Structure formats: structure tokens, C-alpha cells
Amino acid sequence: MYRWISGIAVGIALVAALGVGCGGGDESEASVQLTKAQFTKQASGICEDMFEKRLAARRKFDEKFDPNEEKTESLPYLGKKVTALLIPSMQSGLEELEGLEPPPAIKADVEKMLETYAAAIEEFETKGVVALKGSKPVEDFNKESRALGLSCEAP
């Protein structure tokens, strides 16, 4: 009889112990609050990665384009090719930056910067390489990212 009671007690203790662990997600599911220094370091790393991807896209373009060819492609066509190579790295960088959780003290500034970068990408998609020079969203993004201490530069 005592074995039966002690077996039930152990069973109840196990169910109770398992029940305590249920219901909440693990720490990996929750967003981790970063300090400003951690955010700046991670965001700058993403920006450096975007820069490297833009360089790779530029090298890819340079490999395919020969300015000495007799048949030179029209500038609008070349602009579309450059745009098509750059936009994916810009969009993936934006998505990665949006995935970071900035500290509350700079959250509004970061959100504004990301909205500006999205506008720069949209302008780049619609106007092509023409948007690279004198674009207000591009200039604003560069200013906003520098003000946050980031090493981000829109192309």
C-alpha cells in the first residue's frame, strides 16, 4: 500500500515539475533587449555586410560589362542592370536591421532611420541609379545612421 501511495506521490511531483516548465517559450523565442553598444555593434556589422554585398554586385557587373565593346549598351539599360544587382542586398540588409531590437532610448530614431532606408530603396527601385545622386531619402538615411553611430551608408 505504501509503495502505491509513494508511486502516486512521485507521479504527482513529476507532473507538477513538468507543468512548471510548460506554458512559456524558451529564451530564444523572446526578443533580447540590447544595450546601445550591442545594438550599434550588431547594426554596424549588418551595414558592413551590406557594403560587402554591394561590392560583390559591383564586381559582378564589372565582369559582365566591357566599356570597349563596339556595341555599348544604353545607359538606361545599364542602370536597370545595376539596380537589379544592388536592390537584393539593400532589402536583405533592411530586413536584418528590422530584426534587431533597439534599446528604448533610441528606438524611435532607429524606426525613423529604417523608414527612411525603406523609402530610399523604393526610390532606387523606381528611379534606378539616378536616385543615387542627390536623393533626399538616401541623404537622410546616411545622416540618421551616422547620428546613431552606425557605419551604414546607402549606395
Q: Is residue 6 part of a domain?
A: no
- Closest of 12, 5, 96 to residue 48, by C-alpha: 96
Q: What's the one-letter identity of residue 138?
A: V
- Closest of 154, 149, 115 to residue 134, by C-alpha: 154
Q: Is residue 14 part of a domain?
A: no
pLDDT band at 94 (very low <50, low <70, confident <90, very high): very high
Q: Is residue 2 part of a domain?
A: no
Q: Is residue 28 part of a domain?
A: no
CB burial of 20-55 (b: ≥16 within 10 Å; e: otherwise) equals: eeeeeeeeeeeeeebeeeebbebbbebbeebbebbe
* pLDDT reported for residue 128: 76
pLDDT band at 68 (very low <50, low <70, confident <90, very high): low
Q: How far is CA 31 from each of CA 27, 34, 49, 100, rounded to the nearest angstrom?
A: 8, 9, 22, 8
Residue with cell 534606378: 128
Total number of domains constituting the chain:
1
Report d(CA 81, CA 155) in Å as an integer: 15
Full-prediction pTM beyond 0.85?
Answer: no
Q: Is residue 25 part of a domain?
A: no
Burial of 102 (0-12, 13-18, 19+ CB in 10 A): buried
Question: Is 70 exceeded by the pLDDT of residue 104?
Answer: yes
Rounded average pLDDT over 17-36: 51
Q: What's the one-letter identity of residue 129?
A: V
Report d(CA 154, CA 152) in Å as an integer: 7
Q: Is residue 4 part of a domain?
A: no
Q: Could you list the residue range(s) of the whole structural domain that residue 39 is in?
A: 35-66+73-155
Q: Is residue 21 part of a domain?
A: no
Question: Is 60 exceeded by the pLDDT of residue 27?
Answer: no
Rounded average pLDDT over 103-111: 94
| Sign of the torsion angle spanned by Cα atoms 39, 45, 46, 47 | positive
Residue with cell 540588409: 93
Q: Is residue 19 part of a domain?
A: no
